[in-house]
């Protein structure tokens, strides 16, 4: 399977697939494992924190997120984790603003307010039903990638959506 990142530098010219809703993954097949591997390669090559299948042209409820495994004073170690059919089951009441970007819209970063803590339910790559709670950048990545699966883009969270990008200074 050959895939590539669906992207544009013009938020007024959004690729149609990014507005479509993704369908659940019915079964973990060799093709799904191959897709996960290729998505991970693209995410790492583009210095991303997360990527959803829709961003590589596949309307499947699947994402890869870089999750910390260990933190020391000098370094932070992480692993690229596959989340199949993720769903948000709980969000914190506390909201935090953060300058957010997206692999599908290179060089467009805007301040987005999201709940700080996000708890999700998902199937892991081995087929196990799991739950995970995370705050900070990982919790934000969960919300961002799950939004993609519903056809929601990060700038939809700002006043006036794409039109609001002109009002809010876009930082590069």
Q: Are 100 and 112 contacting, i.e. CB atoms less than 8 angstroms apart? A: yes
Flag whether 9 is in a domain: no
Check which CATH number belongs to the domain holding 134 and give it. 3.90.45.10
Q: Mean pLDDT over residues 51-79, rounded?
A: 85
Residue 132 CA to residue 142 CA, distance in Å, equals 10
pLDDT of residue 170: 47
Flag whether 6 is in a domain: no
Flag whether 2 is in a domain: no
Residue bearing tokens 């999201």? 114
- Return mean pLDDT, the chain: 90
- pLDDT of 128 higher than 70: yes
Flag whether 143 is in a domain: yes
- pLDDT of 55 higher than 50: yes
Residue 172 CA to residue 155 CA, distance in Å, equals 15
Position 59 confidence tier, pLDDT thresholds 50, 70, 90:
very high
pLDDT, tens digit (0-9, with 9 covering 90-100), for 70-106? 665 555 678 899 999 999 999 999 999 999 999 999 9
pLDDT of residue 167: 44
Minimum mean pLDDT range among 37-41, 47-51, 141-145, 162-166: 162-166
Residue 100 among the catalytic residues: no
26 φ, ψ (degrees, to nearest 5): -80, -35
Active-site residue among 73, 87, 133, 145? 145
Residue 59 CA to residue 11 CA, distance in Å, equals 20
Flag whether 26 is in a domain: yes
Flag whether 172 is in a domain: no
Containing structural domain, residue 100:
16-167
pLDDT of residue 32: 98
Residue 78 CA to residue 4 CA, distance in Å, equals 24
The DSSP output letter for 164 is H
Minimum mean pLDDT range among 33-37, 150-154, 168-172: 168-172
- pLDDT of 69 higher than 90: no
**Using only C-alpha atoms, what is the Rg of the chain?**
16
Q: Say how many domains are in the chain.
A: 1
Position 144 confidence tier, pLDDT thresholds 50, 70, 90:
very high
pLDDT of residue 172: 43
Flag whether 7 is in a domain: no
Flag whether 131 is in a domain: yes
pLDDT of residue 87: 99
């Amino acid at each position: 399977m050959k895939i590539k990142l669906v992207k544009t530098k013009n938020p007024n010219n959004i690729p149609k697939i990014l507005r479509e809703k993704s369908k659940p993954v019915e079964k973990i097949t060799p093709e799904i494992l191959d897709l996960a591997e290729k998505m991970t390669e693209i995410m790492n090559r583009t210095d991303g924190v997360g990527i959803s299948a829709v961003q590589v042209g596949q309307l499947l409820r699947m994402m890869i997120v870089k999750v910390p495994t260990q933190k020391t004073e000098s370094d932070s170690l992480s692993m690229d984790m596959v989340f199949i059919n993720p769903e948000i089951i709980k969000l914190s009441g506390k909201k935090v603003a953060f300058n957010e970007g997206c692999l599908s819209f290179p060089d467009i970063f805007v301040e987005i307010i999201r709940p700080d803590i996000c708890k999700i339910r998902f199937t892991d790559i081995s087929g196990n039903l799991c739950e995970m709670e995370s705050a900070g950048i990982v919790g934000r990545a969960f919300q961002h990638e799950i939004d993609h699966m519903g056809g929601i883009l990060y700038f939809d969270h700002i006043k006036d959506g794409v039109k609001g990008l002109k009002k809010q200074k876009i930082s590069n």
